């Protein structure tokens, strides 16, 4: 299986360890992984800011970079969701591009979905001694159908137990540029997520999107919580603590 | 009602600082309507409910695709049964028509059941000005009428008020002894309202649906006030949007199944009132005169365009009950009649893009609204379309445009992008210090006012990966 790893712009910039974790997991599942060197961003910031032209330009670039692989995998529900559920609509008026976008969409996966449903990863390399609570990021859950897959994989991690929070499907308030444009509202929504995370009593919050990670971890730390670890699901599965690059 | 939607940010900020409001919103959020809906869907069967949503959406689509013909049919049937059908293009025309009717029949007191159109038109002020006393009879509407506030939710207009605040209002306006439990407060309101029902000569209602084949209007209430408003007074005026017309009674039955479940989790509301023309010979009750005012007020602008799906809305409120932003800042922040996700689409669509610039952006696009909407309106997509329209019309701030353009330019040029992120990663790391947490971001203070920004290790994945490959 030739897999193109779409690292995502946030992983590239602030959380490289997630990229390495994804790479290790895909290789552990027996995939032949390539990380196209020219990749940058899926275009979502432009798309969600109403800049359709910018979104289309970046979509064209991603399609060209990744259409040669059997699968495209991203450690993010949000970026894989953009490719899978939004790219085709960007080219409603361009049949040729639309078909290419649809073909790419059909083979694009969120990491845990791919590991659980396609690559059928049997053993995970990681180990985690403690309890974790899983936050369902919005795009992963509602665009990519990611819900059971990360939990099934986490169940394979030796030493780890999942303690669900009360409302794991509630949005954390990140919303991309929303988090800066409406910082106060965004932080207030994140606050409710932090309450929920802390009430679960788990040692770590685990999730599948770096955007939401930055938001929730940023709010937890500002509230003075230094204790609850915040980890990407790939890091936990690969046995990384988020600081090892 | 005046459009205040340009001030979303300031209003949201006030809402966040208002401890009482925050407590009320919190209560609503945790024990509220969303949970009731969830239970109702499970009881109905999740898969079956999905089918019902599809059916409901297609009924609404059929209605909208044939709107002119359906409206004609409705008018014909309603007129045949003795009602008068009038059309209003704007809020001003609604006011004029209602005042004309009041003058023609010499009406002095209006009892009202909930009508969002009456809010769009600021009808109460106009009535008062013309010497017709308006009394809201939906309990929530009655409370906010006393408080002189606009509704903050389309089906629970006083949801932002606590029980204590209601007790205070009742003591002030009813001059009775202070009651503290909800049943006693409700009883007190009913007693006050009863005398108004009996003395009013005008009843003003909305209509959840207009049924074309029979010329019938229908309203859904839980308090029975709608029944009183539409039958007791001499004259009944039902004001509703032109998009509310549906073909048949059968369609009405289907839509009812999704409406009340989505709104309050009820299989059916306590009252469903259908009204077809005035009191006929041999009828025990009903008004002597019955008017329908069908309102455009911006709606035809959405017909046939990329925003048409929004007109499917059946005003259940589920989108706001599930909206993280609405639940955090409350309905008044949105600045016009309709709050939450549906309001953020409707307000700019009805009153003008430039009058509500913040609203399409005041959403995380989490799609918690879209997955519960009973008529499957893709609210996040519509919000995004409005954002695109703002860009196309040059309505975004220049600095934002510049930043986006620079980002898009660089992101298409891998070498430039790699260089830019290399410096950005180092800069963030430097700001982050020992604990790798940035407390103040120079160009994104909106983030760090309420949060730290985890800085990362100072080197991009791209760099680290290249270094590793070399080894
Ligand atoms: S948009 Fe959908 S969920 Fe929101 S009020 Fe309208 S029908 Fe209900």
pLDDT of residue A244: 62
| A218 with B329: Cβ contact below 8 A | no
Q: What pLDDT score does B5 carry?
A: 86
Among B387, B461, B466, whose Cβ lies nearest the Cβ of A50? B387
- A245 pLDDT higher than 70: no
pLDDT at residue B1 in the model: 73
Query: How many Å apart are CA B13 and CA B17, to the nearest integer?
Result: 6
For B410-423, what is the mean pLDDT?
Answer: 97
Query: Picking from A58-67, B148-157, B207-216, B243-252, which range would have the lowest pLDDT averaged per residue?
Result: B148-157
Do B209 and B244 form a contact (C-beta atoms < 8 A)? Answer: yes
Say which range, A75-89, A137-151, B172-186, B368-382, has the weakest mean pLDDT.
B172-186
- Give pLDDT, residue B30: 56
* Residue in A57, A185, A188 closest to B408 by CB: A57
Q: How far is the C-alpha of A101 from the C-alpha of B228, rounded, in Å?
A: 57
pLDDT above 70: residue A232: yes
Ligand 1 contact via B202 beta carbon (within 6 Å): no
Tell me: pLDDT of B8 over 90.
yes
CB contact under 8 A, A218 and B461: no
Interval B431-443 mean pLDDT? 93
Interatomic CA distance for residues B329 and A186, integer angstroms = 10
pLDDT in tens, A173-200: 999 999 999 999 999 999 999 999 999 9
Question: At residue B29, does pLDDT exceed 80?
Answer: no
User: Which of A39, A86, A136, A184 to substitute to test the interface with B, most B CBs within 10 Å?
Assistant: A184
Tell me the CATH number for domain B48-295. 3.40.50.10420
Q: What percent of chain B has pLDDT over 90?
A: 92
Q: Facing residues of A2 across strands? A: A32
Residues 17-36 in A contacting B (C-alpha not used; CB under 8 Å)? 17, 19-20, 35
B365 neighbourhood in chain A, CB within 8 Å: 48, 138, 175-176, 178
Q: Which A residues in the span 102-141 are in contact with B, Cβ-Cβ below 8 Å?
A: 138
What residue segments make up the domains of chain A, in order of their start? 2-118, 130-238
Tokens representing residue B316 in the block: 């259940």
Cβ–Cβ below 8 Å for B387 and A49: yes
Give tens-digit pLDDT for A5-57: 999 999 999 999 999 999 999 999 999 999 999 999 999 999 999 999 999 99
The pLDDT value recorded for residue B469 is 86
Residue B471 has pLDDT above 80, yes or no: no
The pLDDT of residue B286: 93
pLDDT band for B395, please (50, 70, 90 cuts).
very high
pLDDT exceeds cutoff 70 at A111: yes
SS3 content of chain B, % helix, strand, coil (to 5): 55, 10, 35
The pLDDT tens digits for B47-79 are 999 999 999 999 999 999 999 999 999 999 999
d(CA B388, CA B381): 10
pLDDT for B398 beyond 90 = yes
**Residue intervals in chain B for CATH 3.40.50.10420:** 48-295
For chain B, how many residues are written?
471
CATH fold label, A130-238: Rossmann fold (3.40.50)
């Amino acid at each position: 299986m030739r897999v193109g790893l779409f690292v995502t712009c946030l992983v590239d910039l602030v959380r490289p360890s997630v990229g390495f974790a994804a790479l290790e997991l895909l290789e552990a599942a027996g995939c032949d992984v390539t990380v196209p060197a020219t990749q940058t961003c899926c275009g979502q910031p432009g798309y969600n800011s109403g800049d359709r032209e910018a979104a289309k330009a970046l979509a064209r670039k991603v399609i060209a970079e990744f259409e040669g692989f059997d699968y495209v995998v991203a450690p993010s529900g949000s970026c894989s969701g953009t490719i899978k559920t939004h790219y085709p609509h960007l080219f409603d008026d361009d049949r040729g591009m639309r078909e290419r976008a649809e073909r790419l969409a059909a083979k694009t996966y969120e990491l845990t979905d791919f590991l659980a449903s396609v690559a059928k990863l049997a053993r995970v390399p990681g180990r985690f001694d403690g309890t974790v609570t899983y936050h369902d990021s919005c795009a992963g859950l509602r665009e990519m159908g990611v819900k059971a897959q990360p939990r099934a994989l986490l169940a394979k991690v030796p030493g780890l137990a999942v303690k669900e929070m009360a409302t794991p499907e509630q949005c954390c308030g990140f919303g991309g540029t929303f988090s800066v444009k409406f910082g106060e509202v965004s932080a207030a929504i994140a606050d409710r997520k932090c309450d929920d995370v802390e009430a679960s009593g788990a040692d770590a919050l685990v999730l599948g999107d770096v955007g939401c990670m930055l938001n929730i971890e940023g709010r937890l730390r500002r509230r003075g919580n230094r204790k609850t670890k915040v980890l990407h699901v790939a890091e936990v599965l690969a046995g990384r603590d988020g600081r090892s690059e | 009602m005046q459009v205040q939607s340009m001030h979303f940010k300031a209003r949201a900020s006030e809402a966040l600082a208002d401890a009482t409001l925050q407590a009320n919103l919190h209560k609503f959020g945790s024990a509220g309507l969303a949970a009731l809906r969830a239970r109702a869907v499970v009881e109905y069967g999740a898969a079956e409910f999905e089918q019902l949503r599809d059916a409901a959406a297609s009924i609404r689509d059929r209605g909208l695709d044939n709107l002119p013909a359906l409206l004609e049919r409705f008018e014909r049937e309603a007129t045949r049964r003795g009602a008068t059908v009038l059309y209003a293009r704007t809020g001003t025309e609604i006011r004029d028509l209602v005042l004309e009717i009041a003058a023609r029949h010499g009406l002095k007191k209006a009892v009202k059941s909930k009508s969002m159109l009456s809010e769009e038109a600021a009808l109460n002020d106009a009535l008062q000005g013309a010497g017709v006393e308006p009394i809201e009879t939906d309990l929530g509407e009655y409370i906010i009428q006393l408080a002189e506030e606009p509704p903050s939710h389309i089906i629970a207009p006083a949801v932002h008020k606590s029980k204590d605040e209601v007790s205070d209002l009742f003591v002030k306006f009813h001059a009775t002894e202070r009651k503290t439990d909800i049943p006693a407060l409700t009883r007190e309101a009913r007693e006050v309202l009863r005398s108004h029902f009996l003395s009013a000569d005008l009843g003003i209602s909305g209509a959840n649906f207009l049924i074309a084949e029979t010329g019938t209007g229908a309203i859904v209430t839980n308090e029975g006030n709608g029944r009183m408003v539409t039958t007791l007074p001499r004259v009944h005026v039902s004001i509703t949007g032109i998009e509310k017309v549906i073909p048949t009674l059968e369609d009405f039955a289907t839509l009812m199944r999704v409406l009340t479940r989505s709104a309050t989790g009820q299989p059916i509301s306590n009252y469903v009132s259908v009204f077809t023309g005035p009191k006929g010979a041999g009828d025990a009750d009903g008004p002597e005169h019955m008017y329908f005012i069908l309102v455009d007020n911006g709606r035809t602008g959405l017909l046939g365009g990329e925003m048409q799906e929004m007109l499917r809305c059946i005003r259940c409120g589920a989108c706001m009950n599930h909206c993280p932003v609405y639940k955090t800042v409350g309905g008044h922040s949105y600045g016009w009649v309709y709050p939450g996700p549906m309001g953020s689409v409707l307000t700019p669509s009805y009153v003008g893009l430039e009058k509500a610039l913040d609203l399409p952006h005041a959403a995380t696009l989490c799609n918690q609204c879209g997955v519960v909407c009973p008529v499957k309106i893709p609210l996040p997509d519509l919000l995004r379309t409005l954002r695109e329209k703002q860009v196309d019309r040059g309505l975004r701030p220049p600095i934002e445009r510049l930043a986006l353009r620079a980002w898009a330019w660089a992101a298409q040029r891998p070498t430039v992008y790699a260089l830019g992120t290399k410096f950005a990663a180092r800069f963030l790391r430097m700001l982050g210090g020992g604990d790798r947490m940035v407390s103040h971001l120079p160009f994104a203070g909106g983030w760090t006012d309420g949060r730290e920004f985890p800085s990362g290790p100072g080197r991009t994945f791209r760099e680290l990966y290249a270094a590793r490959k070399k080894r």
